[in-house]
Amino acid sequence: MSSLAAARADNFYYPPEWDPKKGGLNKFHGQHALRERAKKIDQGILIIRFEMPYHIWCGGCNSMIAKGVRFNAEKKQVGNYYSTKIWSFTMKSPCCKHEIVIQTDPKNCAYVIISGAEKKNEEFDVEDAETLELPADEERGKLADPFYRLEHQEQDLQKKKEAEPVLVRLQRVSDARHSDDYALNKALRAQLRSQKKRVAEEEASSRKLGLGLRLLPVSGEDSAAAAHVKFPSKFDRNRKDKRALINAGSIFPGSSVSSMSNKERLELESKRRKICASAASNLMTGGFKPSSWSKSAISSSRHK
């Protein structure tokens, strides 16, 4: 970016026709300092980024809008609570473009939905959530009384004494667990090294199998599921036929066996098996030695 463009981007560029006696640059260009955010400033409306203070239900499509979702909202003053201004925020729902209006409530330090939505009520049990129960609004007003505040303070001190042993024990356990940083770091690094070693071994075993992915360790459930898998008989028959064709084929290209049909190859393979079986049976019974005969028979049968 050139220096002139950088100056214009920062609004530091002053054109030659600008006269400082007639006002600033915004007045010279006929625009507001907030640009598009102040397009309705004559109506007392300013465009801001509003963040949803709690979960709500959209009044148009009944969809939930979560807490923290941000909107481009129109902000304007609608009243006063003593000297504090009451602001109104008007925005469009992202799901159905339904208009939602929310106002501030300075008296209760909260936000109030005026129209277009409904607050989602979320109630939790104090014991299940393991939190402290906040005093009700009526009790907060009673705390202005000194005698009631003193009695309330005594109850809080009693609760503190009851919960103190548990807190002290938890603090001691935490201190003992995190007292030696070197030991914790050493144990963590040892665990990381063993994990890296295990991953390397699994990757090496996967490469031996010709796989590019790391296989998960063998589990009993996988073994049981694999044991229950049964392939159809047709698959086994096709596999045996393919192996028979491969074994019956010649290792030399262009031979007469390569030009045979599948049926002829299967017949040739069955003959070869019968010859080998008969030769083995003769050898076991103590008859002749089939070494020369079997080889010549096999070679002659292959060249038929």
Tens digits of pLDDT across the chain (304 residues): 455 555 555 656 778 888 788 777 777 777 777 777 888 888 888 898 999 999 999 988 889 999 999 999 999 999 999 999 999 999 999 888 899 999 999 998 999 999 999 998 877 776 776 666 666 766 767 777 788 777 778 777 887 788 778 878 888 888 888 888 888 889 899 999 999 998 888 888 888 877 777 777 778 888 888 888 776 666 677 777 777 777 776 666 555 444 556 667 677 777 777 766 666 665 555 544 444 444 444 444 444 4
Rounded to whole angstroms, the Cα distance separating 46 from 247 reads 86
CA distance to 5, 68, 112, 132, 133, per residue, from 124 (Å)? 57, 20, 21, 11, 10
Is 231 inside any structural domain? Answer: no
Domain count for the chain, please give it: 4
pTM of the predicted model as reported, rounded to 2 decimal places: 0.41
Is 292 inside any structural domain? Answer: yes
- Across the beta sheet with 117-119, the strand order is 64-65, 56-58, 117-119
Q: Is 95 left (phi over 0), alpha (psi -120 to 50) or beta?
A: alpha
271 and 199 in a single domain? The answer is no
262 and 291 in a single domain? The answer is yes
Is 175 inside any structural domain? Answer: no
Is 1 inside any structural domain? Answer: no
Domain containing 204: what range? 180-214
72 and 38 in a single domain? The answer is yes
- Identify the three-state secondary structure at position 180: coil
Do 58 and 71 meet the contact criterion of CB atoms below 8 Å apart? no
Sign of the C-alpha dihedral computed for residues 199, 205, 206 and 207 taken in this order: positive
